[in-house]
Amino acid sequence: MKYDAPVQDMMFLLTELVGLEQLQELPGHEDFDESLAEAVLEEAGKFASTELLPINQVGDQHGAMHENGNVTTPPGFKEAYTQFIENGWTGIDSNPDHGGQGLPKVLHVLIDEMLGATNLAFKLYSELSRGAYHLLDNTAPDEIREKYLPNMVAGTWSGTMCLTEPHAGTDLGLLNTKATANGDGTYKINGSKIFITSGDHDLTENILHLVIARLEGAPAGTKGISLFLVPKFLVNDDGSVGDRNGVVTASIEHKMGIKGSATCALNFDDATGYLIGEENRGLAAMFKMMNIERMTVAMQGLGLADIAYQNALAYALDRRQSKAPAPRPDSNKAADLIVYQPEVKRQLLKMRAQIEGARALAVYSVLHADIMEKAEDASVAADAHHLVALMTPVMKSFFSDLGMEATLSAQQLYGGHGFIAEHGMEQLVRDCRITTLYEGTNEVQALDLVSRKLTGATGEFTDRFLDEWLNYAKEQDAPDVVSAMEHLIEATAWVREQQEADDAAVRGVASQYLRLFSLAIIGCMWLKMKTAAQGKDGSFYANKRKIAFFFVKQILPETESLLTTITGGRDALAGFDVADFGE
Ligand SMILES: Cc1cc2nc3c(=O)[nH]c(=O)nc-3n(C[C@H](O)[C@H](O)[C@H](O)COP(=O)(O)OP(=O)(O)OC[C@H]3O[C@@H](n4cnc5c(N)ncnc54)[C@H](O)[C@@H]3O)c2cc1C
């Protein structure tokens, strides 16, 4: 396996697609410049390919272990984690008051892509910590922030997100975990959580669980959920690690992929917890963390797509089979490199066009997460907020689906050699599979898009947003992108119309609508990249123009068939009753 961090592409997006000035206008980011961005990305890329990639297969083969009540990480993970935190990678976009570097989120997600590409199982040990950190920084009282956050930024303590229970996955309103007030401001937490990423491990001195539970007498469903901080070890007044809290690791899961990541079943037995935010408002607080995680999961899918593409390309440039169509590049050889087979070339280009387009969408969207947080103009911040809300389900679903599509395509390009373990392609497929499932399955993201993001204030923003991009495509005289945007606008109008009349019809096409949305917006990204590359010398810019052409001619036309299935498929679904499955 090889991995070359796509730093040149990332820098192109930061400096020529969106422009660093947009970041430099934000308080706290005035000094963020090209050389700093490039240096950080180069270093992250080096760490990912030289430290994380070499232990990726070991992590898969060895897995995390649960023995005698303790969870251990695979060989090499501890050493890599020590280096990871010494280099400061756990505090990239954290508050400098807590020891963080205060760098933009858009830089962080690009690093996320590299870590996800090279060793997703390792990455997960710090991933939830970041979401937990930002949640606590936004929501927790000062004394908790001061006591806990510096250690999270330093990476010596990690965080988890404890939502799922055996019978409560997507529908968290069904949860059973209970919280009882102790009368001294603390709470007793009792219940069982499953599938908790990094719920226990040997990399940090303490683990801070963010647990959702129901207080006695609270309303049923999602309106009665509160959020608690439950440390593995209680923390003394002076900030030192104290007694073990009532959190027990019952088991770890044996799973299809990310085997080096410990996915834990945790029992909370009279564990001491601290209320975070208001009573019964826990899910709203938790969504702050979940939205960050959804963007991060998107970058996992993108990273895995990219490493799969890079290795498939290397293989196609090395493997000789069959004769290619005339004119044959190596007419003196018995067989040509498989990259000269047009079908192989098309598959590689399809991967690359989607990967680079998705990366552009990531930079564009997460830049708005920075604007949303720091812009001084309230209306600019509000628009950025709507854009991030709109793009979160789109990125999470489309990028993780792309991860699956690209890892499978790359595996296909290896032929039978992709199926065996040696080259690592089958591990990429297995590791990527989780990205479409956790942080809310992709179906649930699609539902979020059609039911929440097309209505209310975000819905009004969405209309403006779609019109702006349609006008941009018209101004640029790009008929393929104009058509795709018109398909999206027509599908949006249909979804809105049906929402009142036939909710089932809308839900039945939500995933198709999300895909149409993603393709059309990525078409706009390609148009913007092509415009940025116009008139510039060098193969990098020439390739951008060529791949933009490939995207609009080979991938974007799918929006037309999606529009047809979205608006025309209602009777086909409704005509078959659930009871008919039994016939
Ligand atoms: C490796 C791993 C790590 C995880 N890490 C964490 C973690 O750190 N913290 C945590 O709390 N959880 C974690 N999870 C749990 C994960 O988030 C859930 O598995 C996921 O949310 C889905 O819940 P479920 O498995 O119960 O599926 P279910 O909710 O039972 O869903 C089953 C199927 O029904 C579909 N479905 C359900 N409701 C709807 C709907 N309204 N509309 C359309 N389709 C629907 C789903 O898309 C899915 O295909 C992890 C899971 C795994 C496997």
Question: What does each C-alpha distance from 296 to 11, 83, 156, 399, 529 come to in angstroms?
Answer: 19, 22, 21, 10, 23
Q: Given the CA of residue 447, which atom of ligand 1 is nearest to it?
A: 42
* 41 Cβ contact list (under 8 Å, min separation 6): 5, 7, 10, 11, 107, 110, 111
Task: Tell me, in angstroms, the distance from the centre of ligand 1 to residue 464's CA.
Answer: 33
pLDDT of residue 456: 93
Q: Given the CA of residue 261, which atom of ligand 1 is nearest to it?
A: 1
Question: What does each C-alpha distance from 218 to 171, 221, 376, 419, 422 come to in angstroms?
Answer: 17, 9, 38, 51, 54
Q: Given the CA of residue 160, which atom of ligand 1 is nearest to it?
A: 8
pLDDT tens readout for residues 472-517? 999 999 999 999 999 999 999 999 999 888 899 999 999 999 999 9
Task: Tell me, in angstroms, the distance from the centre of ligand 1 to residue 229's CA.
Answer: 22
> DSSP per residue over 520-562, as a string?
HHHHHHHHHHHHHHTT--SHHHHHHHHHHHHIIIIITTHHHHH
Task: Tell me, in angstroms, the distance from the centre of ligand 1 to residue 439's CA.
Answer: 7
- C-alpha span between 366 and 523 (Å, rounded): 18
DSSP state of 337: B
**Token pair recorded at residue 567:** 């608006």
Question: What does each C-alpha distance from 579 to 430, 506, 574, 576 come to in angstroms?
Answer: 34, 21, 12, 8
- Going by DSSP bridges, is the β-strand pair 233-235/206-215 parallel, antiparallel, or unpaired? unpaired
Work out the end-to-end distance of the chain between its first and last CA atoms, rounded to an integer number of angstroms: 49
pLDDT tens readout for residues 123-178? 999 999 999 999 999 999 999 999 999 999 999 999 999 999 999 999 999 999 99
Average pLDDT over every residue of 567-578: 89
Average pLDDT over every residue of 285-312: 95
- Going by DSSP bridges, is the β-strand pair 178-181/157-162 parallel, antiparallel, or unpaired? unpaired
CB 404 within 8 A of CB 432: yes
pLDDT tens readout for residues 314-325? 999 999 999 999
pLDDT tens readout for residues 243-266? 999 999 999 999 999 999 999 999
pLDDT tens readout for residues 17-63? 999 999 999 999 999 999 999 999 999 999 999 999 999 999 999 99
Average pLDDT over every residue of 67-95: 96
* 137 Cβ contact list (under 8 Å, min separation 6): 94, 95, 98, 145, 149
Helix pair angle (120-139, 425-432), 10° resolution: 30
Question: What does each C-alpha distance from 338 to 212, 237, 328, 330, 347 come to in angstroms?
Answer: 52, 65, 12, 12, 12
Q: Given the CA of residue 164, which atom of ligand 1 is nearest to it?
A: 11
CB count, 10 Å around CB of 236? 11
* 280 Cβ contact list (under 8 Å, min separation 6): 215, 218, 219, 223, 224, 225, 226
Average pLDDT over every residue of 389-404: 98
- C-alpha span between 17 and 544 (Å, rounded): 12
Assess whether pLDDT exceeds 90 at residue 563.
yes
The active-site residue out of 439, 468, 490, 558 is 439
Task: Tell me, in angstroms, the distance from the centre of ligand 1 to residue 179's CA.
Answer: 23
Helix, strand, or coil here: 109? Answer: helix
Average pLDDT over every residue of 538-545: 98
Across 387-528, the runs of DSSP E, i.e. the strands, are none
* 34 Cβ contact list (under 8 Å, min separation 6): 11, 14, 15, 20
Task: Tell me, in angstroms, the distance from the centre of ligand 1 to residue 447's CA.
Answer: 14
* 35 Cβ contact list (under 8 Å, min separation 6): none
Among protein residues, the one whose CA lies closest to atom 30 of ligand 1: 169
pLDDT of residue 134: 94
- Residue of 163, 263, 297, 441 with the most ligand 1 atoms within 8 Å of its CB, for mutation: 441
Tell me if residue 422 is catalytic: no
3-state helix, strand, coil in the chain (%, to 5): 60, 15, 25
Assess whether pLDDT exceeds 90 at residue 118.
yes
pLDDT of residue 331: 87
Among protein residues, the one whose CA lies closest to atom 2 of ligand 1: 195
- C-alpha span between 117 and 427 (Å, rounded): 12
pLDDT of residue 36: 98
Q: Which helix (H) or strand (E) holds 402?
A: helix 378-413
* 398 Cβ contact list (under 8 Å, min separation 6): 298, 358, 514, 515, 518, 522
**Token pair recorded at residue 422:** 């040696």
Residues with CB under 6 A from ligand 1: 128, 161-164, 169-170, 195-197, 255, 263, 434, 437-441, 443-444, 447
Among protein residues, the one whose CA lies closest to atom 7 of ligand 1: 196
pLDDT band at 330, cuts 50/70/90? confident
* 241 Cβ contact list (under 8 Å, min separation 6): 205, 206, 233, 235
User: Pseudo-torsion of CA 112, 114, 120, 126, nearest 10°?
Assistant: -40
